[in-house]
Structure 1
């Protein structure tokens, strides 16, 4: 069983790890929301869906 400084440092390490995990998850979610927003704006702006380099053979 851990006591004293060992228990406190283990508890601190756990909190720091959880803090980092939460921040990474928040950044990933923000990037997904940003990507979805960009796709919605791109489609509503009427841009072509094909990636042919902008050439139109019609």
Structure 2
């Protein structure tokens, strides 16, 4: 049988990779949210007064 100590590097690698993937997903989601808010803000912003 293999002890827990022999499996810890694989487990640590898996946990770090999982955390990195989650961080990337959150960063991308925040970027998409910021882009969407910027587009909505520009389209639904105050109407500029036009000189007639």
Runs of 4+ residues deviating >4 angstroms: none
What displacement does 1:7 show? 3.0
Match of 1:24 in 2: 23
What SS does structure 1 have at the residue aligned with 2:13? helix
Match of 1:35 in 2: 34
Distance 2:44 2:15 in 1: 43
User: Could you list the per-position Cα deviations for residues 26-51 of structure 1 after superposition, in whole angstroms to 9, with x for gaps in the alignment?
Assistant: 00000000000000000010348xxx
Report the count of equivalent residues: 46
Q: What TM-score, normalized to structure 1?
A: 0.69
Q: What TM-score, normalized to structure 2?
A: 0.76
- The structure whose RCO (Cα within 8 Å, separation 6+) is larger is 1
Over aligned residue pairs, what C-alpha RMSD do you find? Answer: 1.8
